[in-house]
Amino acid sequence: MKNIISIIVVALFFTGCTKIIDLDYKGNMSKIVIEGNITNQAGPYFVKITKSVGLTETGVYPTIDDAIVTISDDAGNSELLTPNGNGIYKTSNLIGVEGRTYTLTVETENRTYTAQSAMPEQTPFDSIRVDNITIRGDTEYNLIPAYKDPIEKGNNYRFVLSINNKLINQHFIQNDEVKNGFENTFKLDVNDDDLEPKSGDLINIEMQCIDKKVALFYTTLALIADSGPGGGTTPNNPPNNISNGALGIFSAHTAETKSIIIP
C-alpha cells in the first residue's frame, strides 16, 4: 500500500532523574514494637520494647519500661527478665541451646503478647570470600559468605553486614530452596552505590541460622525494599511471630561472626 522507505534519525536522551518530593502522609497508629533475640552464644539476652512513631517525626522513640517480660523454653526453663531502662529487658540465667523452642511473653498496657521461635542447629560459617570482578574498568568486590548447607532441606540464613563498623541497612536472607546441600555461592549485594565495598574496607558479617517464620519476616522486608521501578511488591507490615498485632520479631538463632579486610 505504501512504498515508504523511512530513515529514522532519533536523538536519544534517556534523562532519568530523581528528586525529593513532599507527600501527604496519612496519620499513623502508634503500635508496640518488640525486638527479642536469643542466640547460642553466652547471655545475657535482651528484649527491647518501644513504640512506633509517625513517619515525619524526628524525636526519640517512646520506650516501655514497666512491662512484665518472660522467656521460657521447651526444656522446662523459664525466666522473668529484669528491666534495664530505655525499654530494654535482660536475662540472667537463661542459656540459648540449638534445637530448643523459646516462648516470649510480654504483658503491658493491659495486653499480652506472645511469640515463639525455634533455634535451628548451627551451620558452620567458614569464611568471607571476596571475589573481584572488573566491569567497565571498575573493580567490584563481591562478598560471599562461605558455608556448606546441610543435606536436610529447609535451612534459612540471615546475614548482618557492617562495612567499616557501619551497619548496612539491608536484609540479607538466603535459603536452600534452589540449591540444597552445597557450598554457598551467592553474594551479599549492597544496593547503595555509596556504600559498596572497596579495597581496604573492614568487613564484618554475622551469620545467623534462623527459623522459617523469622526468615519470612526478613524476606518480606527485603522484597519491599526491592520494589524499585514501578513499585513491584505492594508494601505491608511483614508477617511476624508475635501475637496481638505487635510489630517486631522474636528470633532464636545461632550466631557466628567473621571479619576480613578487603585486600
Specify whether the CB–CB gap between 193 and 241 falls below 8 A: no
Among 160, 195, 260, 262, binds other proteins (CB under 8 A): 160
Local structure of 94: helix, strand or coil? coil
Residue 190 makes CB contacts below 8 A (sequence gap 6+) with 143, 161, 163, 168, 170, 196, 197
| Selected range binding other proteins among 77-85, 108-116, 118-126, 167-175, rule: CB under 8 A | 167-175
Specify whether the CB–CB gap between 201 and 260 falls below 8 A: no
Q: Which is nearer to other proteins, 60 or 76 (CB)?
A: 60
| Selected range binding other proteins among 73-81, 104-112, 169-177, 254-262, rule: CB under 8 A | 169-177
Burial per residue of 215-226, b for 16 or more beta-carbon CB atoms within 10 angstroms, e otherwise: bbbbbbbebbee
Find the binding residues for other proteins in span 128-147 (CB under 8 A): 131, 133, 135-137, 144
Q: Which is nearer to other proteins, 16 or 200 (CB)?
A: 16
Among 65, 74, 152, 177, binds other proteins (CB under 8 A): 177
Determine whether 251 is exposed, middle or buried from the number of CB atoms within 10 Å of its CB (0-12, 13-18, 19+).
buried
Q: What is the C-alpha separation between 41 and 79, in angstroms, rounded?
A: 17
Nearest approach in angstroms of CB 76 to other proteins is: 29
76 DSSP 8-state letter? S
Q: Which is nearer to other proteins, 97 or 223 (CB)?
A: 223
Q: What is the C-alpha separation between 96 and 219, in angstroms, rounded?
A: 24
Q: How many residues line the site for other proteins (CB under 8 A)? A: 83
Q: What is the C-alpha separation between 147 and 256, in angstroms, rounded?
A: 11
Among 56, 93, 110, 165, binds other proteins (CB under 8 A): 56
Q: Which is nearer to other proteins, 8 or 42 (CB)?
A: 8
Find the binding residues for other proteins in span 219-238 (CB under 8 A): 219-221, 223-224, 227-238
Q: What is the C-alpha separation between 107 and 183, in angstroms, rounded?
A: 43
CA geometry: angle 233, 213, 43, nearest 5 deg? 125
Q: Which is nearer to other proteins, 10 or 42 (CB)?
A: 10
Find the binding residues for other proteins in span 18-47 (CB under 8 A): 18-23, 25-31, 33, 35, 37
Nearest approach in angstroms of CB 11 to other proteins is: 5
Nearest approach in angstroms of CB 173 to other proteins is: 10
Q: Which is nearer to other proteins, 186 or 259 (CB)?
A: 186
Contact between 109 and other proteins by CB under 8 A: the answer reads no
Contact between 16 and other proteins by CB under 8 A: the answer reads yes
